A and B are shown apart, each in its own frame.
Chain A
Amino acid sequence: ETGVTQTPRHLVMGMTNKKSLKCEQHLGHNAMYWYKQSAKKPLELMFVYSLEERVENNSVPSRFSPECPNSSHLFLHLHTLQPEDSALYLCASSQDLAGGKNIQYFGAGTRLSVL
């Protein structure tokens, strides 16, 4: 148990569906992240939040919409996805963005399949 919980663990959706991924961290951290992990590719950083404010958006298509209602919860809202969006979506948290090691702790991920 890393202290970062992601739900659902698996998700199958059609291209016209709308779904949301949820992440919750129990570590008292201030920063949270969304990553995309595709087969045989490095982790791709999608979004970064610090104290509920988005501080990084790495040119992610608008069909991915993040939401951070508080420092413990992070959502990724999905709509009109494409088959190439099928991947493992990982959430991570770190104590802060700056001032120390800021090791990122990861959840187990949501395996997303877009049909």
Chain B
Amino acid sequence: GESVGLHLPTLSVQEGDNSIINCAYSNSASDYFIWYKQESGKGPQFIIDIRSNMDKRQGQRVTVLLNKTVKHLSLQIAATQPGDSAVYFCAENPSYGSARQLTFGSGTQLTVLP
């Protein structure tokens, strides 16, 4: 079956450094990808998304890169702050227009060290 997975379950970075969280996907037909952040005691929160016709998208302190050749996407967080500590999920959608087919990865725990 199709799956979305993350290379590392945990990631620790020093405050102020940049963070890179990786995600591999297996469905080459996936058309749309979303990154979510889940803080302790909260539900997942939308961070940034990217369609398959793009290879890079930037937001506020975050950048998502998509490499369709190797079916890999990454989330880069610039100048990581303590408030960035959370679990980060990537989610893939085979069809841009269809929300119900969203498939989530298991998440990476990001810990920001003082």
Residues of chain A at the chain B interface (Cβ within 8 Å) = 2, 4, 6, 31, 33, 40-43, 45, 48, 55-56, 90, 92, 94, 96-109
B98 at the A/B interface (Cβ < 8 Å)? yes
In the bound complex, residues from chain A placing their C-beta under 8 Å from that of B96 are 101
In the bound complex, residues from chain A placing their C-beta under 8 Å from that of B105 are 42
B62 at the A/B interface (Cβ < 8 Å)? no
Whether the pair B104, A42 counts as a contact (CB closer than 8 A) is yes
Set A41, A56, A100, A108: member contacting B43, Cβ < 8 A: A108
Residue of A nearest to B100 (CB): A48
13 A–B contact pairs at CB < 8 A?
A4-B43, A40-B9, A42-B105, A43-B104, A48-B100, A92-B43, A96-B99, A97-B99, A100-B97, A102-B99, A106-B45, A107-B43, A109-B42
In the bound complex, residues from chain A placing their C-beta under 8 Å from that of B42 are 108-109
Whether the pair B106, A109 counts as a contact (CB closer than 8 A) is no
Given contacts A42-B4, A42-B106, A43-B89, A103 and B46 within 8 Å (CB-CB): yes
In the bound complex, residues from chain B placing their C-beta under 8 Å from that of A99 are 97
Residue of A nearest to B109 (CB): A40
Set A2, A41, A96, A97: member contacting B45, Cβ < 8 A: A2
Whether the pair A108, B98 counts as a contact (CB closer than 8 A) is no
Whether the pair A104, B4 counts as a contact (CB closer than 8 A) is no
Query: Which B26-54 residues have C-beta < 8 A from chain A?
Result: 32, 34, 36, 41-46, 49
